[in-house]
Structure 1
Amino acid sequence: MSNGPQPTALRPLASSQAGSHPAGETEIIHNAIAVASGKGGVGKTWLSITLTHALANLGRKVVLLDGDLGLANIDIQLGITPHVDLGQVLEQQWPLERAITSYPDGGFDIVAGRSGSQTLANMPTHRLLNLSSGISSLGRTYDHVVIDLGAGIDRPVRYLATQSGRSIIVTTDEPTALTDAYAFIKLMRQQGAHSRIGVVVNMAASREDGMRTYETLAKACESFLQARPELLAVIQRDSKVKDSIRAQMPLLIRHPGSHAGNDVEILARRLANASS
């Protein structure tokens, strides 16, 4: 079993890549959970959906916002067609609540994105502030607002992550995923992130392998950033995840009791208890 890349493989990121917050930033949205990753393909959207579902199963009122307009696919993974999406809300400057779509099978609501749109990536500062205000408004209605951010480290992605009360960085044991996760954490700290930053290791061959992956990332952060991110969960690799995605059905409905589903349920209980 591979021990994964060593901490020295994670290079310090040049400070010139860090951007500044938009002027007049809004207050921290304490019950918002931003799910991010420096790299695509680590299961971030699947985790966002499953975590939202698990929180709803705990009796929490939850809304899941698809913050990845370029490659939005929450509605696709759930097999639903929303009447209004986030792209329309941003273009028409409507209240964010107008884009809420109920997902009764999971007991939660969603705000769908629009695949192929570059609205979020190129959003002017005032629109970005308005979006953050809209999310803050949702936070007064829901117990949790889960935000599935786009992969990468674009300015709007970093901004929404730092405005959220908690940020979850999703990674795997791939060297590129670890390097990009480290870069994301570094940029958030450079921008003075107030949110609690935690790591979820996804698609781990075992819990032990996942812990080794986390230690690789944590040691790099300790060496270069003098900070150690919290390990929130290790999610085991599970073939039932791909099956549920193909079926456009949440894992906790299609395969209740699966290994990956149980791991996410443990994560949900941890987050719910921390916010109580």
Structure 2
Amino acid sequence: MSTNITFAIGQPLYIRMVSPQSTTYVTRILAMSMHTLTISIPYDEGRMLLWPVGTWLEVIASNPGGDYVFNAEILSRALGDVKSYIITRPQTIARYNNRHLTSGAMTRVIALTSGKGGVGKTTLAINLAIALASYGKRVFIMDVDLGTANVDVLLGLRPQWDITAVLAEEKSLLDIAIPAPGNIAVIPGGSGLQELTQMSESRFIKLIHSFNQLDGLADILLLDTGAGISRDVSNFLLAADEVVVVTTPEPHALTDAYAIIKIMHKLQCSSRKMLIVNRAETVEEAREVADKLITASHHFLHQEIKYLGSVCEDRVVRKSLKAQYPLILSHPQSAVAKDVRAIAANLLHLPVNPVNTEANRGITGFVSKLVSLFRRNSSEKILQPY
């Protein structure tokens, strides 16, 4: 493979999605800038291939010295008279390329999703974030249930700013982050704002690129997505490193969970896919439900789904919701708290033995100092949205 690459207008490129069994297509360079390439949108049997913003591509460029292969991210797309994608050039700062340049420093982006509402996804996301922090991880939870965000409400927080300030370029992602119980930080989403439910692609790009601000400062970013299979939800799933599908044993919830896995398959989502069965009566019931979904996904969609575990039905969940305080802190010895900690350990490939929270005060101090520091220095270039 060539180590030097030059590009030219009209040059053909061979591109494919970074996912197993993806097809390679031919495109051409239409325009160039210092950091991006504008390429024609490829067609497949007369059908334009509309890949979502945030999709990762493997690109092959032929040069006299040999083929040059690099990974690129779709930053934008134009659907006017000239149909085109704007992608990153080699070595440009982009989420996928950074994965290879900053080993160990990349923030792990995990999206939690469900095919329907009412499966306890947000409550699970909050307690899972705290469980992950109990293992010494620096965890941020970002509420991307756009328009109806409520993570801050469930935690009894009163944020001064939310995602709308980031989209308006008034604040950075770290400006709006606030410390929360359990040694985590919360990035509040907007609630009751219709414009958030119809986010343009340019605004979505801006939000996804703001994730870069956490690289090296947070170990894990949990995205609490909205229920259902809207365009915004699918875009977040495509942009995440990993996707956790949350379902319950009810048949309709299981059907909806399969539907969202099917949508991800159709969009050629390359994220690692995992499953949690919430509100299960028994471990055996949860395992049976998981086996059905995993088998169907493998047989019909050729998708591999990892089972992370189950969370039992427990009355302490409702008590914690009324108190606006996470159950993993209010009832740490409850069965549901133990289930959540086991899932966190599974995500981290660790035994179920969380770090003592008293010995973990440094994480709380880190979050508080980090937010304070970045608010004081928000005018510095490194904190500006990409």
The reply to whether TM is greater than 0.5 is yes
Report the equivalent of 1:266: 342
In structure 1, give the amino acid aligned to 2:173. Answer: L
Report deviation, 1:46. Answer: 0.5
Residue number among 55, 75, 84 corresponding to 1:24 in the alignment: 75
Report the equivalent of 1:249: 325
SS at 1:194 equivalent: coil
User: Relative to structure 1, is the Cα distance of residues 89 and 76 closer, same or farther in structure 2, using a 3 angstrom cutoff?
Assistant: same
Report the equivalent of 2:163: 86
User: Relative to structure 1, is the Cα distance of residues 204 and 156 closer, same or farther in structure 2, using a 3 angstrom cutoff?
Assistant: same
In structure 1, give the amino acid aligned to 2:51. Answer: S
User: Relative to structure 1, is the Cα distance of residues 68 and 85 closer, same or farther in structure 2, using a 3 angstrom cutoff?
Assistant: same
Q: Whole-Å Cα distance in 2 between the matches of residues 55 and 183 of structure 1?
A: 28
In structure 1, give the amino acid aligned to 2:306. Answer: E
Report the equivalent of 1:227: 303
Q: Whole-Å Cα distance in 1 between the matches of residues 349 and 194 of structure 2?
A: 36
Q: Whole-Å Cα distance in 1 between the matches of residues 114 and 172 of structure 2?
A: 27
Contact kept? 1:70, 1:114, Cα under 8 Å: yes
Q: Does 1:164 align with 2:164?
A: no
Q: Whole-Å Cα distance in 2 between the matches of residues 49 and 191 of structure 1?
A: 28
Contact kept? 1:232, 1:267, Cα under 8 Å: yes
The count of corresponding residues between Structure 1 and Structure 2 is: 257
Contact kept? 2:107, 2:214, Cα under 8 Å: no
Counterpart mapping for 1:112-123 below 5 A: 112-123=188-199
Larger Rg belongs to: 2
Report deviation, 1:19. Answer: 6.9
Report deviation, 1:38. Answer: 1.2
Q: Does 1:191 align with 2:222?
A: no
* Stretches of structure 1 lacking an aligned partner (at least 5 in a row): 1-17
User: Relative to structure 1, is the Cα distance of residues 185 and 93 closer, same or farther in structure 2, using a 3 angstrom cutoff?
Assistant: farther
Provide Cα deviations, 1:231-258, integer angstroms capped at 9, x if missing partner: 1111111111111111100111110111
Q: Whole-Å Cα distance in 2 between the matches of residues 165 and 226 of structure 1?
A: 19
User: Relative to structure 1, is the Cα distance of residues 59 and 220 closer, same or farther in structure 2, using a 3 angstrom cutoff?
Assistant: same
Contact kept? 1:121, 1:154, Cα under 8 Å: no
Q: Whole-Å Cα distance in 2 between the matches of residues 31 and 252 of structure 1?
A: 22
Counterpart mapping for 1:27-176 below 5 A: 27-28=95-96, 31-92=108-169, 94-103=171-180, 105-176=181-252
Ranked by relative contact order (alpha carbons within 8 Å, sequence separation 6 or more), the top structure is 1
Percent of pairs with identical residues: 36
SS at 1:66 equivalent: strand
Cα RMSD, aligned residues only: 2.0
Q: Whole-Å Cα distance in 2 between the matches of residues 270 and 80 of structure 1?
A: 29
TM-score, normalised to structure 2, is: 0.63
